[in-house]
Amino acid sequence: MSDQAKIIYNDQTFEAPVVKGSEGELGLDISKLRGSTGLVTYDVAYKNTGATQSSITFIDGEKGILRHRGYSIEDLANNASFLEVAFLLLKGHLPNKKEYENYADLIRMHTLVNEDVKHVFQAFPNGSHPMGQLMTMMSMMSAFYPDSLNPHRIEEDFDMTITRLIAKTPTLVAMIQKKKMGHPLVYPKNNLEYVDNFLNMTFGQITQEYAVDPVLSSAMNKLLILHADHEQNCSASTVRIVGSSQSNLYASISAGIAALWGPSHGGANQRVLEMLEEIAKDGGNVQKFIDRAKDKNDPFRLMGFGHRVYKNFDPRARIIKKSADEVLGQLKVNDPILHLAKELEEKALADPYFAERKLFPNVDFYSGIIYRAMGFPVDMFTVLFALGRMPGWIAQWNEMRKAGQPIGRPRQIYTGEVHRPYPSWDERG
């Protein structure tokens, strides 16, 4: 197989090296194309652009494969703890027992947030969206750790910022939920494991002992793992590009949270539930909503369906669907919304419109149903996605930083006015 490709333009031939990934993925290295031919590549929304080489996550969208550092998402979701997966993403290998215990202890030592953070929370109006709060709290962290602002600091300082982020994000997320409920904060209890500690801070009360339900704990652990990383998606690319200007990690993650908030990305999990509730309120006519999604004059889309990369079943959705059945069964929840979701999935999958476009349910289709059964308010769903995605964002940022990648800066094809003289007031009519 050739390791060069030729691009012929007028009388010029550009020989582009072919870059090969460890799973056989091929890419054209066009970094010198403009210098040789004057051409840039044109690829709106980067649908066919590899922005980096990366050794963190592998996806084969045609086959429905997702692996982190070589381990399948199925193996990780069924066997690992979220903290183990975070370690894997951040350090590149699964921890041995000693490494894991040390890591869990290190994270435990940093779960508290500064007491002054409470004052920032007080400023949010009641009812403000949890994603807006999380984004603000994340940027605010840079104010509490000014040492993190220096892009040339020593490696140990970077490690400490990463540790703080993994340790304190569950505390911040729980604070957002408590603010929403109008309940007093529950502080971290460091004898608990990572996920149980989060559930205790979220659902526990200061007035009484709270025993973490193992069913909830296992479901939460799985959901966090399923969201932990997804290679160069919109929010990860945002984190990388913001970080490429040597902006600090808190600011980069805050930008990632902003990107995740949108309904085309992580915000879809909230929209799926709202859509299912709307269908139920409208009398449960699933076909009507499928027809609307197919109508090109109607902006409505089936939320939780379709994916930029997966042109096969999203492997995360398969795992979540099974988990939703288990959790609802164990919690003895008979949710009519789940029945509607199943009917919608069956009808859409049988419809040629969705089959031809390879539109399958994605990770967000079922996650909301589990979150709802667990007792989370619907506008907290995307915040939970962000909590799970934290190690992935950090791993992507750190890979970019350690490779010394230059500032990210795409080109454009300008289509505006060509040069014209500056008119006087009279000439403007």
Total residues in contact with ligand CMC, by rule CB under 6 A:
20
Task: Please provide residue 374's backbone torsions phi and psi, each rounded to the nearest 5 degrees.
Answer: -75, -20
Is 141 or 363 the residue whose CB approaches ligand CMC more closely?
363
Q: Which of 54, 53, 52, 38 is nearest to 411 (CA)?
A: 38
**HSE on the CB side for 109, CA within 13 Å?**
8
Which stretch in 11-19, 24-32, 296-304, 328-336 sits in contact with ligand CMC by CB under 6 A?
A: 296-304
Q: Is 265 in the site for ligand CMC (CB under 6 A)?
A: yes
What mask, x for binding ligand CMC by CB under 6 A, covers residues 332 to 371?
Answer: -------------------------x-x--xxx-------
- Residue 351's alpha-carbon distances to 65, 175, 242, 288, in angstroms, are 24, 43, 41, 13
Query: Side by side, which strands form the sheet with 57-60?
Result: 57-60, 65-68, 71-72
Q: Is 292 in the site for ligand CMC (CB under 6 A)?
A: no
Residues in the chain: 429
130, 306, 368, 388: which one contacts ligand CMC (CB under 6 A)? 306
Which stretch in 5-13, 199-207, 258-266, 396-404 sits in contact with ligand CMC by CB under 6 A?
A: 258-266
Torsion of CA 44, 45, 46, 48, to 10 degrees: -70
* In the complex, least distance from residue 184 CB atom to ligand CMC, rounded to whole angstroms: 34
* In the complex, least distance from residue 381 CB atom to ligand CMC, rounded to whole angstroms: 12
User: Beta 57-60 vs 71-72: how paired, if at all?
Assistant: unpaired
User: Of the residues 196, 229, 314, 364, which is catalytic?
Assistant: 364
User: Of the residues 230, 307, 314, 379, which is catalytic?
Assistant: 307
130, 304, 315, 392: which one contacts ligand CMC (CB under 6 A)? 304
Is 194 or 305 the residue whose CB approaches ligand CMC more closely?
305
Q: Which of 238, 325, 216, 229 is nearest to 46 (CA)?
A: 238
Report the C-alpha gap between 336 and 106 in whole angstroms: 43
Helix (H, G, I), strand (E, B) or coil at 13: strand
- Tell me the residue nearest to ligand CMC as measured from the CB: 306
Q: What is the 3-state secondary structure (H, E, C) of 277-319?
A: HHHHHCCCCHHHHHHHHHCCCCCCCCCCECCCCCCCCCHHHHH
Count of H-run helices and E-run strands, the chain: 18, 6
Q: Which of 313, 309, 298, 320 is nearest to 370 (CA)?
A: 320
Q: Is 59 in the site for ligand CMC (CB under 6 A)?
A: no
Q: Is 303 in the site for ligand CMC (CB under 6 A)?
A: yes
264, 282, 298, 402: which one contacts ligand CMC (CB under 6 A)? 264
Q: Is 226 in the site for ligand CMC (CB under 6 A)?
A: no
Q: Is 239 in the site for ligand CMC (CB under 6 A)?
A: no
| Annotation says 364 is catalytic | yes
Q: What is the largest CA-CA distance in the chain?
A: 79
Q: Is 316 in the site for ligand CMC (CB under 6 A)?
A: no
> In this structure, what token pair is assigned to residue 34?
């403009």
Is 216 or 226 the residue whose CB approaches ligand CMC more closely?
226
* In the complex, least distance from residue 305 CB atom to ligand CMC, rounded to whole angstroms: 4
Task: Answer yes or no: are the C-beta atoms of 245 and 399 closer than 8 Å.
Answer: no
| Annotation says 129 is catalytic | no
58, 158, 198, 305: which one contacts ligand CMC (CB under 6 A)? 305
Give the binding site for ligand CMC (CB under 6 A).
Answer: 230, 233, 264-266, 268, 293, 301-308, 357, 359, 362-364
Active site members: 307, 364
